[in-house]
A and B are shown apart, each in its own frame.
Chain A
Amino acid sequence: MGKTFAEKALGKAAGHEVSANEVVTVEPDFCMSHDNTGPISRTFKKIGVKKVWKPERLVVILDHGVPAPSSDHAVNHKEAREFMAEQGAPNFYDVSSDGGVCHQKFPEEGFALPGLVVIGSDSHTCTYGAFGAFATGIGRSEMAAAWATGQIWFKVPESMKINVRGKFKKGVSPKDFILKVMGDVKSDGADYMSVEFHGSGIDEMSVAGRMTLCNLGIEMGAKNAVCKPDRKVLDYIKGREKASNWEPLWADADAAYTKELNYDLGDIVPGIAKPHTVDNYAAIDEVKGTKINQAFLGSCTNGRMEDLREAAAILKGKRAAVRTIVIPASWNVYREAMRDGTLDTLLDAGCIVCNSGCGPCLGAHMGTLAPGEACVSTANRNFKGRMGDKDSFIYLASPYTVAASALKGELSDPREAL
């Protein structure tokens, strides 16, 4: 019997062969945290250890409320800043044009590498599976413990295999695919599991698109999600690598899976996750015409260059009918979109472009909603009230669909706008 990706990656980290359901203790290759670094550092100090086990393994990227929208946020940032300095920890991305959303910056800076074990005190840490890393979200206490001991325990997860073939039709993108998968699997269908994306449909997909898929693994309850680290990934990481012990790992053909699903990308249509759960899937035809008050294009799910370009293709030369907020996922993305004219196209269409960060995705600032308002969003969660008032509504969609909906002020089929 062959091994799954999770068995191989955790086996590599543990230094011996492992199988699903075995408990292993491993040393994480990197520990990612964001604005919650301040509170984690307080818990760390309570353990009674003075120095982080390996300060160079910490990667801290401020993004949840940047620049600080309140003095409470500012205090957390200040603590993070002081802690990193005190520990002599070099990998700190402060509020500056070197920054961005953590799950975009982390790969950009070369920390997301094949075969590494990455833990992050953020549930969307699973994004780095797009680069072949075993990456999973944990809580703050657990992060403090990992800093102190250099260890974390895992139950080797069982795995789900999602086989993907075919090609997207015009106006359909990876977000539509994963929304459909979430609708099928349900928000707890992959609880505790490792989700592997296989097949020619994934091979053909860009690395950015794979990041969108893996990012949403947690929304099915997964421990981690992963794609094969192929030539595209190796090309991306070349020259960025912040560690040398990486190694492309992939599941054996005869590995054992708890569940297996098959999709043809040619069957996927523009999709929506309706309020207030991520698995409340509808094809665009079922919800077309629903009024919206705001559109949001950004986040760790869909704030990358190709996302902005897709939206711009629809908005070019036209005018958004509702307020449309654009947040590039990092300042590198921002600059590239500035250079190639994408930002101009979006500004000309009436969009406002905010500084890189998490923004309104979690309701902190930069576009929160009033009672009764609805937002179509490229982000990852549509939980009740997540973007503001508890009587507001969030529809999750692709960049194409968000742009097409912004134009009409109602949920719209992007295939009719392209």
Chain B
Amino acid sequence: MSEVLKGRAWVFGDDVDTDLIYHNKYLAETDPKNMPQYSFEYYPGKEGFAKGVKPGDFVVAGKNFGCGSSREHAVYCLKEAGVPVILAETCSRIYYRNAINNAYPVLFVKGISDAIKAGKLNDGDELEVSLSAGEIKNATNGETFHGDAVSDLEKDIMSAGGLIPYLKSHKK
């Protein structure tokens, strides 16, 4: 479990709300596969995300990522785009639960909000992320960051592939 993921960073600020991630205009869409095309459409300067994101790229954000609505679209649209993990200082409660329930990792990284503000993480930087060790290295400038580990229950749900597969495997 020492796999290191490598990819480019897409860097966002604090309080990235669910309308910025996935606008309510597209809420009637229910197929996760159709959701990536709308990702970050409303985020100033990131209009090109949906077209430009490549599988393996990382979403990097500051505090309170995913605040606002309970819409799961905001998780699907990034997961389906192939973003393997969200790296954020903190994340809203409902967004976090939705992420875990869909086996989608969010790594909480202390100091990342300030690092973004200080220009230590920029769009296009090459990152190396070890989920198991919680280590993040910005290969572009050598900066390193450390993320928190997840709890056992969360790990169980994640390793089953999400809440629904977890329940299926635990069904009496």
Measured CB to CB, the residues of A under 8 A from B are 23, 38-39, 42-43, 46-49, 64-65, 70, 72-73, 75-76, 121-123, 137-142, 144-145, 148-149, 153, 187-188, 191-192, 218-219, 221, 223, 277, 362-364, 381, 383-386, 390
The one of A123, A148, A277 that contacts B94, using a Cβ cutoff of 8 Å:
A123
Asked if A390 and B42 make an inter-chain contact with CB atoms under 8 angstroms apart, the answer reads yes
Question: Given the complex, which residues of B lie within 8 Å of A384, measured CB to CB?
Answer: 17, 19-20, 42, 44
The CA of A43 and the CA of B164, in the complex, are separated in Å by: 8
- Give CA–CA (A76, B29) in the complex, Å: 10
Expressed in whole angstroms, the minimum distance between the Cβ of A133 and any Cβ of chain B is 17
Residues of A within 8 A of B163 (CB): 141-142, 145
- Of residues 30 through 65 on chain B, the ones whose CB sits less than 8 Å from some CB of chain A are 30, 41-42, 44, 63-64
- How far apart are the CA atoms of A148 and B164 in the complex, in Å? 10
B122 CB, min distance to chain A CBs, angstroms: 22
Q: B27 to chain A: which residues have CB within 8 Å?
A: 64, 362, 364
Check if B68 sits within 8 Å of A123, measured CB to CB.
yes
Q: Is the CB of A187 within 8 A of B15?
A: yes
Whether B63 pairs with A188 at a CB distance below 8 angstroms is: yes
What residues on B are CB-neighbors of A43 within 8 Å? 164
Are A149 and B167 touching (Cβ within 8 A)?
A: yes
On whether the beta carbons of A47 and B168 are closer than 8 Å, the reply is: yes
Q: Which residues of A contact B102 (CB under 8 A)?
A: 141
B30 CB to closest chain A CB, in angstroms?
4
B55-88 Cβ-contact flags toward A at 8 Å (1 or 0) = 0000000011001111110010000000000000
Interface contact A46-B94, CB-CB below 8 Å: no
Given known pairs A47-B168, A142-B98, the reply for A191 and B93 (CB within 8 Å) is: yes
Given contacts A139-B94, A381-B68, contact A38 B164 (CB under 8 A): no
Q: A192 near B28 (CB under 8 angstroms)?
A: no
The 4 A-B pairs of least Cβ separation, nearest first, read A72-B28, A188-B64, A139-B98, A383-B19
In angstroms, how far is the closest chain B Cβ from the Cβ of A403? 26
Instruction: List 7 A-B pairs, Cβ < 8 Å.
Output: A48-B168, A73-B28, A142-B98, A142-B163, A363-B23, A381-B19, A385-B23
Please give me the residue from chain A that is nearest to B65 by CB atom.
A188
The reply to whether A364 and B70 contact each other, CB–CB distance below 8 Å, is no
Chain B contact residues (Cβ within 8 angstroms of A): what range? Answer: 35 or more
In Å, the complex CA distance between A244 and B102 comes to: 35
In the complex, the answer to whether B153 meets A141 with C-beta atoms within 8 Å is: no
User: Chain A contacts of B41 at CB under 8 A?
Assistant: 390
Cα-based distance from A73 to B72 in the complex (angstroms): 17
B71 partner residues in chain A, CB cutoff 8 A: 139
Residue in chain B with minimal CB distance to A364: B24
User: Does the CB pair B164–A47 fall under 8 Å?
Assistant: yes
The answer to whether B92 has its CB under 8 Å from any CB of chain A is yes
On whether A221 and B64 interact (CB within 8 A), knowing A142-B101, A191-B90, A386-B24, the answer reads yes
* Nearest opposing residue in chain B for A79, CB measure: B30
Contacts of A39 in B (CB 8 A): 30
Query: Is there contact, CB below 8 Å, between A363 and B15?
Result: no
Give the residues in chain A near B94, CB-CB below 8 Å: 123, 137-139, 218
Q: Is B164 within 8 A of A42, CB to CB?
A: no
Q: B72 touches which one: A72, A140, A390 (CB < 8 A)?
A: A140
Q: A377–B67 Cα gap in the complex (Å)?
A: 20
A219 surroundings in chain B (CB, below 8 A): 67
Closest approach, in angstroms, between the C-beta of A281 and any C-beta of chain B? 14
Q: Provide the bound-state CA to CA distance between A313 and B97, in Å.
A: 43
Distance (whole angstroms) from the CB of A163 to the closest CB of chain B: 24
Bound complex: CA A386 to CA B26 (Å): 11
B162 within 8 A of A: yes
Asked if A47 meets B167 with Cβ closer than 8 Å, knowing A76-B28, A384-B19, A390-B41, the reply is yes
Q: What separation, in Å, do the CA atoms of A49 and B167 have in the docked complex?
A: 10
Q: Name the distance in Å between A52's Cβ and chain B's nearest Cβ.
A: 14
Query: Which residues of A lie under 8 Å from residue B101 when comparing CB positions?
Result: 139, 141-142, 145
Q: Once the chains bind, are A221 and B67 in contact (CB under 8 Å)?
A: yes
Complex: A145 Cα to B102 Cα, angstroms: 12
For the complex, give the distance between the alpha carbons of A385 and B47 in Å: 13
Question: Chain B nearest CB: distance from A235 CB in Å?
Answer: 31
Which one of B23, B69, B92 lies within 8 Å of A188 (CB-CB)? B92
Task: Give complex CA distance A390, B101 in Å.
Answer: 30
Contact across chains for B93 and A223 when beta carbons are under 8 A apart: yes
Q: Is the CB of B70 within 8 A of A122?
A: yes
The answer on a CB contact under 8 Å between A145 and B90 is no
Q: Which residues of B contact A221 (CB under 8 A)?
A: 64, 67, 92-93
CB <8 Å contact, B72 and A139: yes
State the Cβ distance, B37 to closest chain A Cβ, in Å: 15
CB-CB nearest in chain A for B171: A48
State the CA gap A46–B68 with chains docked (Å). Answer: 27
Which of B30, B67, B70, B98 is A76 in contact with, Cβ under 8 Å? B30
